[in-house]
Amino acid sequence: MCLKDMHLPLPALSSSLRIGNVEIRNRVALAPMSGVTDLPFRALAWRFGAGFVVTEMVASRELVCNAAESWVRLKNSGIEPHIVQLAGREAHWMAEAARIVEANGADIIDINMGCPAKKVTGGYSGSALMRDPDHALSLIEAIVKAVSVPVTLKMRLGWDENSINAPLIARRAEDAGVQAITIHGRTRMQFYSGKADWDAIRAVRDVISVPLIANGDVDTVADTTEILRRSGADAVMVGRSSQGRPWHAGVLAGARLHPDALEIARIFAEHYATMLEFYGPQIGIRHARKHVGWYMERFAPDLSSTDKAAILTSTDPDLVSDRVAAAIANSGVASVNEEMAA
């Protein structure tokens, strides 16, 4: 632990932060999550006070080759700053994709070196890049040289416990021009098991001067204070704890009041309707199912397993929206104040 940082005051999460020339309105961000942080989800999180939100990872080569899904992930609608995360394994495609997203309004480009999914690491992308720092740096350098907007990096502590190299890569990334770094406090081989190691993130703080964002198992207000204290980070990023509650980052940043059951029901209904509009009814119903499941798990405890199964397999959007919204509104969940303060 760096002794000079031991007694420095913790940054106020409601205060602004600068990444390069871009001002961030507060210090609690929504993590990019593939299959989760699509435009409907990001728009809600932004409206409810997240400091910044990041697109689902956009596959660089697929974007350059004009794949439809990549363009869907790239879409934005008045969210500022527009931060796009790119994934890939070849400098050429990453640089070309970076030029495309900059030309299409990206204010910041984030590099994915943290995704642990086998379908990503099996293609030598995501956290697999941490196994070869020299190659990883070639991608970073190519993107930084290709664009004029700030470039950031998101990664894990390392590939496994025997190769904790985030400090090495972070220092080299800053030297290459990266202007903020996010660290998830697990290795790739841990996936999401165990507890994120917030203390280990401090080793990155000790070797970089650009903003550091700490990620992993941040759920409550108390967590935000503790992860900042132990990591020395400038900001926090929340991921899975936002599933089923897109207002969560805003609550942690102190940007809004805690929603009660009726408001949660209204948010759910809006979220569901927006997904159907964004994707179209047939595709939207399928994409929305995971979100429906999270809302029911958190806020509709009285629904039986039979009822939940019927809702999740239904192809009638009105039935799904009405039944889940009613179950939430009648659940007796008065607020989430106690949960958030824990």
Active site residues: 115
Q: Which two tokens stand for residue 219?
A: 């759920």
Give the separation between CA 173 and CA 137, rounded to whole angstroms: 7
Report how far residue 57's alpha carbon sits from residue 167's, in angstroms, rounded to the nearest whole number: 23
- The tokens for 250 are 């805003």
In the chain, where does DSSP find H-type helix? Answer: 39-47, 60-64, 68-74, 91-103, 118-121, 133-146, 166-175, 198-205, 221-231, 248-252, 261-279, 281-299, 305-313, 317-329, 337-341
Tokens of 78: 């008045």
Instruction: Print burial letters for 244-271: b (CB count within 10 Å at least 16), e (below 16).
Output: bbbbbbbbbbebeebbebeebbebbbbb
Amino acid letter for position 323? R
Q: What is the DSSP letter of 275?
A: H
